[in-house]
Amino acid sequence: MSEFDLIRRFFTRDTPHAILGVGDDAALLQASAGNVLAVSSDMLVCGTHFLPDADPFLLGHKTLAVNLSDMAAMGAAPRWAVLAIALPEADEAWLAQFSAGFFALAQQHDVELVGGDTTRGPLNLCVTIFGEVPAQQALRRSGAQVGDEIWVSGCLGDAALALAHLQGRIALSAAELAACLPALHRPQPRVALGLALRGIASSAIDISDGLLADLGHILEASQVGAQLDFAALPVSPVLNNCVSRTLARQCVLSGGDDYELCFTAPAVHHAELADIAARHNLPLTRIGKIVAGRGCIVHDASGNPLNVEACGYDHFR
């Protein structure tokens, strides 16, 4: 199978919303009236983000999901993607599964694959995604104001707990693992939530490196501080019942791979947020508030500050 057969067979689909898709030297794209392009890349590297024997269908899903999550965090509607892929070999069964997982999620979100690059090398998957958003409505990290409330979607820590099990750091029962594993292998990007938060959230970020690290980016960009209520943090029953409280706390505060949205909003939007949560069948939980100053203080149930290290995953630390 030549490189071009491979691209044609596995990565070429209709792209009705692109002026030109796969097959030329570049794709041609046009943002619709009133919108600007939101552009972001995320790379998954074998050995760093996944193991060599990872299920290719789930890998295809996750490769796109982590990019869709960035669009969600920006309040952008995802439209197009390009895929740069390095493969050790042209394994047809693997490619069929990978592209099926990728396109299943792409179709769900109306995203078109309009180009990319294919080379031989250690397995490496990089998507660049293009979305649309009215410039003034983009959800930036820099908009949090003192007095705003801090919210998160879904629940936190399950992906990190599943990973801890796979790495032998804790032993979950089969039922517990089955409950946590989808968070790690099949994250659901909160695209609809991101769109609904336009005009409501003052800032937003997706949680890929852990709540404290990613909220920290909002605090830094907005030049404010935060107080969090540890007892309010939304967790699954499995995490809540985890025998190691230290590990559970780590997973929730700095586990990473959650792909939930963390956002701030003025308190006047409370009712609208409850409505959005109901409409999207997605829990939204108020976890704290923005305060003057710098840094983040996490209070325990009795109001005492927890001693937490803001230790999100950093590839170069």
Burial (CB count <10 Å: 0-12, 13-18, 19+), residue 59: buried
Which of 118, 128, 137, 227 binds ligand ADP (CB under 6 A)? It is 118
Tokens 């003057």 belong to residue = 292
Binding status of residue 182 toward ligand ADP by CB under 6 A: no
Give which of 304, 78, 104 is closest to 192, Cα–Cα: 78
Q: What are phi and psi of 140, to 5 degrees?
A: -85, 165
By CB under 6 A, what part of segment 13-42 binds ligand ADP?
A: 22-25
Binding status of residue 117 toward Mg ion by CB under 5 A: yes
* In the complex, least distance from residue 187 CB atom to ligand ADP, rounded to whole angstroms: 22
Q: Which is nearer to Mg ion, 3 or 275 (CB)?
A: 3
By CB under 6 A, what part of segment 210-239 binds ligand ADP?
A: none
By CB under 6 A, what part of segment 83-112 binds ligand ADP?
A: 83, 85
Q: 118 contacts which partner out of ligand ADP, Mg ion, none, CB within 5 to 8 A by kind? A: ligand ADP
Q: 5 contacts which partner out of ligand ADP, Mg ion, none, CB within 5 to 8 A by kind? A: none
Q: Which is nearer to ligand ADP, 85 or 212 (CB)?
A: 85
DSSP per-residue codes, 157-206: SHHHHHHHHHTTSS---HHHHHHHHHHHHS----HHHHHHTTTT-SEEEE
Binding status of residue 3 toward Mg ion by CB under 5 A: no
Is residue 148 within 8 Å of residue 290, measured between CB atoms? yes
Number of residues that bind Mg ion (CB under 5 A): 1
Q: Which residues of 287-307 are buried (b: 16+ CB within 10 A; e: fewer)?
A: bbbbbeeeebebbeeeeeeee
* In the complex, least distance from residue 72 CB atom to ligand ADP, rounded to whole angstroms: 23
d(CA 165, CA 238): 12
Q: 113 contacts which partner out of Mg ion, ligand ADP, none, CB within 5 to 8 A by kind? A: ligand ADP
CA 152 to chain centre: 12
Indicate the SS3 state at residue 244: coil
CA dihedral 181, 184, 186, 191 (to 10 degrees): 130
Per-residue contact track with ligand ADP, 265 to 294, x per CB under 6 A?
------------------------------
Which of 60, 101, 115, 210 binds ligand ADP (CB under 6 A)? It is 115
Binding status of residue 117 toward ligand ADP by CB under 6 A: yes
H helix intervals, the chain: 3-11, 56-74, 92-108, 158-166, 174-185, 191-196, 211-222, 237-240, 245-254, 270-279
Binding status of residue 128 toward ligand ADP by CB under 6 A: no
Q: Which is nearer to ligand ADP, 60 or 143 (CB)?
A: 60
Q: What residues make contact with Mg ion under the rule CB under 5 A?
A: 117
Q: What residues make contact with ligand ADP under the rule CB under 6 A?
A: 7, 11, 22-25, 83, 85, 113, 115-118
